[in-house]
Amino acid sequence: MGWGKVSLLTFALLAVACVDKKQLPACDPETDDSCNIATARPGCTKDADCADGICQADGTCKAKSPVTQASACAAVSCPAGNFCSNGRCLPENAQCKQADPACIYVPHGAFEQPAHEWWWPFPTADGPDAPAGSNLTRSDLEYPDFVQVMSTPVVMRLKATDASPAVVFNTFSQQTGANGSQFVEVQGAMRAVRGSDGTAIWSAPKDMWNHMDRSINGNSGIAAGDCMGTGEVCFVTGGWNPTDVPCFSGSQPGTCDPSVLPGHAHERGGLIAFGSDGRFLWVNRAVSVWWGAPAIARLLGPTGPAQVVVGNGVYDAATGATLCAQTRGASGGNGDGTLSIIADVDLDGIPEILTGNQAYKLTKDAASATGYSCKAVYGDGVQMPNGQPCAGGAGSACPDGFPAVANFAGYGATMGLKPNDPHPQVVVVSKGYLRIQDWTGGMLLSPVPLPQFGGDCADSSYNPGGAPTIADFDGDGLPEIGVASQSAYSVWKPGVGWLWKTPTFDCSANTGSSVFDFEGKGNATVVYSDQCAFHVYDGKTGSTLITEKNSSCTAYEMPIVADIDGSGRAKILVPNNNVCQYVCPWGSQDQHLYVGLKALMSPNDRWVNTRSV
């Protein structure tokens, strides 16, 4: 069935979702991080290669000792009977009253099967499964073609005084010939809906058909935060540029870009920001986001201005101005876009940018044209010790990928760590392998191949893996690592190996996952969607708690758990799209209207509380 107005630029709006990533152009040494590695050297050779650490005789790095973390209490002197925390003096003796027994949550036992709370863009929670003859269109649906969701939503109160949060997510439209499209960016619209019922708040850009240059890239992720320093939340995502196409004979002026080479249309939509009311703020075209997502952080300290990070590029969050240009490949070393994270790995009180094989620090630099520079912390990047080859990399140099950060010191000697080491470790999934690095970039776990199962889309030559999720899956108080790969979801435990793995249906092999302890039992439950189903897995065993039909071509997206309606209780948001033609147990994706975003809840209110951000 039709969804309303059809885009005027259908030739440029083919959905990116079904790109055959194996057919993308070969890597370019000038832009792709895995191609610009010169002759690799074995491990560290001097202390400067180890950030703030020390280079040992065997070519590995270790932390200087002792390590003193920057603290707001450094200049605070508290009276007797008090201690300092975050610059404030607090009583040493607990000032808490005995908890009211009525407020103590007791787990209810078995996980309760969810019910649908709402399903955007449909008027009822049954969505496309509503009885025949039901109205399938919301009356408040703007841009009704744009209902495909293949990126992770965010949950945020648009104003601090709002009683309930909003859900903000990117959408794009189904187009003829979408399957097999070679575009990595697709025109889209950002939506803000009420978390209580999915009703519309705003769509951005406003008046899109007259402001096509303010369109968003429908498959990019979203970063939300106070980008202007005013207390107002803003939303930053990938942009889409209608003129980002090659010029041919007869092309009209202003409709194309002579610098775009054939086969490279819609790769430079840039970075775009909107205010809490959906108004346009700024756009920077000199950024490659693709299927990735930006991040917002204060990289110069907690009282400084905010910055936006994409890959290793840094941009002023208030204006979009470039502070440090991207110098690594737009693909991020593991797919079709970067997923950099921000963390203070050296514990100096200032966060670093982590891309997988490198860490960067933003510094003020009077000699730079922008006034800033981004210093590479790991020297030549993450290397295997003693010149050993790094699986998926170039020589001993390991590739960029999807990073995650946690402290694994509880494993002690199993991981070569001291149990009291406060520094975090970095987990990276890249090019079909999982590895763990220390805070200096030294190797703790050499690359381990990701599991695969057989099936319709099993392909041993292509299994890059999705972003890792770190949590206590088995309830022993120590972190494990969950990762989605082609046809498998698996959990790795240091000292054990793959704790469990279960088959899935996912050919693109780049999806993420969430975890949440719904019953308050002390171990995480996995929340994950493949191309045909939404799943909830028991964290200890991998046994299936839920399988519900769900459709997605799958990019980097994942379901998320949050308080979406102000009730305090956990709900699940699950993206859907039908832009591909995979044949699922319930039928071909493109023959069913499983699109949009659905919200799931515990029908008897048995899921524990959580936050809305």
What pLDDT digit, counting tens, does each position of 316-349 carry?
Answer: 999 999 999 998 776 777 878 999 999 999 999 9
Tell me the two tokens of residue 515.
């975890």
Average pLDDT over residues 64-91: 72
pLDDT of amino acid 18: 43
Q: Hey, which of 17-21, 38-42, 480-484 has the most confident mean pLDDT?
A: 480-484
Non-local CB neighbours of 175 within 8 Å, separated by 6+ positions: 7, 10, 13, 14, 15
Q: Quick one: what percent of the chain has pLDDT higher than 70? A: 85
Token couple for 434: 């999982």
Residue of 315, 307, 271 lying closest to 289 (CA atoms): 271
Q: How confident is the model at residue 26 (pLDDT cuts 50, 70, 90)?
A: very low
Burial 285-299 (b: 16+ CB within 10 A, else e): bebbbbbbbbbbbbb
pLDDT for 7 beyond 90: no
- pLDDT range class, residue 99, cuts 50, 70, 90: low
pLDDT of 67 over the 50 cut: no
The set of residues, in sequence order, having a beta carbon less than 8 Å from that of 340 and lying 6+ positions away, is: 295, 309, 310, 311, 312, 332, 353, 354, 355, 403
pLDDT at 293 > cutoff 50 = yes
At 280, give phi and psi (nearest 5°). -70, 135
Instruction: Quick: pLDDT tens for 585-599.
Output: 999 998 899 999 999
DSSP β-bridge partners for residue 544: 537
- pLDDT value, residue 24: 43
pLDDT tens for each residue of 230-284:
999 999 999 999 999 999 988 888 899 999 998 889 999 999 999 999 999 999 9
Q: Which residues on adjacent β-strands are paired with residue 448?
A: 434
Residue 129's alpha-carbon distances to 123, 592, 600, in angstroms, are: 12, 10, 15
What is the DSSP secondary structure assignment for residue 240, as one 8-state letter? -
Q: Above 60 in pLDDT, residue 487?
A: yes
> What is the predicted pLDDT for the residue at 44?
60
| Predicted confidence (pLDDT) at residue 439 exceeds the cutoff of 90 | yes
**242-to-19, 211, 366 alpha-carbon distances in Å:** 19, 10, 36
Choice between 606 and 189, residue whose per-residue pLDDT is larger: 189
**Of 104-118, 465-479, 540-554, the least confident:** 104-118
How far, in Å, are 224, 229, 331, 487 from residue 152 at the CA level?
12, 25, 18, 20
pTM score, two decimals? 0.83
- Res 43: pLDDT: 56
**Amino acid 58: pLDDT:** 64
Residues 6+ apart with CB under 8 A from 131: none
pLDDT given for residue 5 in this prediction: 37
Whether 597 and 167 have beta carbons less than 8 Å apart is answered as yes
pLDDT at residue 395 tops 50: yes
User: What's the pLDDT at 116?
Assistant: 97
Please report which confidence band the pLDDT of residue 181 belongs to, taking 50, 70 and 90 as the band edges. Answer: low
Q: How do residues 121-179 score in pLDDT, each as one tens digit?
A: 999 999 999 987 777 788 899 999 999 999 999 999 999 999 999 999 999 998 733 43
Average pLDDT (67-81) is 71
pLDDT at 41: 33
Residues 41-67 have a mean pLDDT of 58
Quickly state the pLDDT bin for 371 (edges 50, 70, 90).
Answer: very high
pLDDT score of 470: 98
- Residue 569 pLDDT exceeds 80: yes
pLDDT value at residue 85: 75
Average pLDDT over residues 29-58: 51
Cα 214–Cα 217–Cα 218 angle in degrees, nearest 5: 120
Amino acid at 289: V
Instruction: Report the chain's mean pLDDT, rounded to a whole number.
Output: 86
Write the burial class of residue 347 (CB in 10 Å: 0-12 exposed, 13-18 middle, 19+ buried). Answer: middle
